[in-house]
């Protein structure tokens, strides 16, 4: 709607480079496409969940 401000997203300013088997990468990307997602989005979700789980375990 006009006049409404969008919530600011955190700027993505870091990069993680990984090497993996081409067949695994292709299968992962194809599955992400089939699920109407992106490989980057799924990896970010995994990282956020991983950090949250392990941060809460360390706080106990």
Residues 6+ apart with CB under 8 A from 42: 28, 32
Give pLDDT, residue 10. 81
Give the whole-angstrom CA distance, residue 5 versus residue 26: 38
Decide if pLDDT at 1 tops 80: no
Give one DSSP letter per residue of 1-60, joined into a string.
Answer: -TTPPPPPPPP----------HHHHHHHHHHHHHTT--HHHHHHHHHHHHHHHHHHHHH-
Q: pLDDT digits over 3-59, tens only?
A: 566 667 788 899 999 999 999 999 999 999 999 999 999 999 999 999 999 997 776
Give pLDDT, residue 47. 96
Domain residue ranges of the chain, discontinuous segments joined by +: 22-59
Give pLDDT, residue 31. 98
Give pLDDT, residue 44. 96
Q: Is the pTM of this model over 0.85?
A: no
């Amino acid at each position: 709607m006009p006049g409404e401000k969008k919530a600011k997203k955190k700027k993505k300013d870091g990069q993680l480079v990984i090497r993996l088997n081409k067949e695994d990468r292709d299968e992962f990307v194809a599955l992400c496409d089939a699920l109407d997602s992106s490989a980057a989005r799924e990896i970010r979700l995994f990282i956020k969940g991983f950090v949250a789980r392990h941060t809460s375990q360390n706080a106990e």
